[in-house]
Amino acid sequence: MTWDQAIRYAAWLSSISGKTYRLLSEAEWEYAARAGTQTTYSWGNEIGRGSANCNGCGSQWAGPSPVGSFKPNAFGLYDMAGNVWQWVQDCYHPNYNGAPTDGSEWTVDDCKLHVFRGGSWGPSSLPGALRSAYRFRQGSDFRNTNLGFRLGRTGNFADK
């Protein structure tokens, strides 16, 4: 899944549902992944075995695992670490100097690289990539079998 495809999917879902869907900002993604913790991973400081689908985590899968194969984090979210990398809305910046302080996405008009987070099952994604703070970047047309996305919804949630 490319970043461009993820953006198009969010627009399509928004158009047919009447609700506004979008990629998470990088700050929103990390907040959701940490689930109120300050540890390396949402479950603690050690990768352990059986906590996520990743290379070196003792997972039984050699590809994406079914959602719900591992315990959710404290916010009830599944697969924030491992399984597939997840595109976020932000353009890549080498550090957070000048980043928005309100959790919104950090974009620029001539964005060449976009960020993805979370690590994956892939052989090049070592357990350290599952750290809540780890980030990677590629161009918006980059695709891989271990790369997906997670959507957020904007708007009035009283109207479920």
Q: What is the mean pLDDT of each run of 10 residues along the chain (160 residues)?
A: 97 97 96 95 88 86 90 95 95 94 93 94 77 93 94 76
pLDDT attached to residue 160: 57
Alpha-carbon gap, residue 138 to 47, rounded angstroms: 25
CA dihedral sign, ordered 101, 34, 87, 6: negative
Decide: 136 and 116 in contact? Cβ < 8 Å. Answer: yes
pLDDT attached to residue 159: 59
The pTM score is 0.92
pLDDT attached to residue 49: 85
Judged by DSSP in three states, 28 sits in helix
Judged by DSSP in three states, 39 sits in coil
Decide: 135 and 113 in contact? Cβ < 8 Å. Answer: no
Tokens read off for 4: 């461009």
Domains plus CATH for the chain? 3-154 (3.90.1580.10)
CA dihedral sign, ordered 58, 62, 66, 72: positive
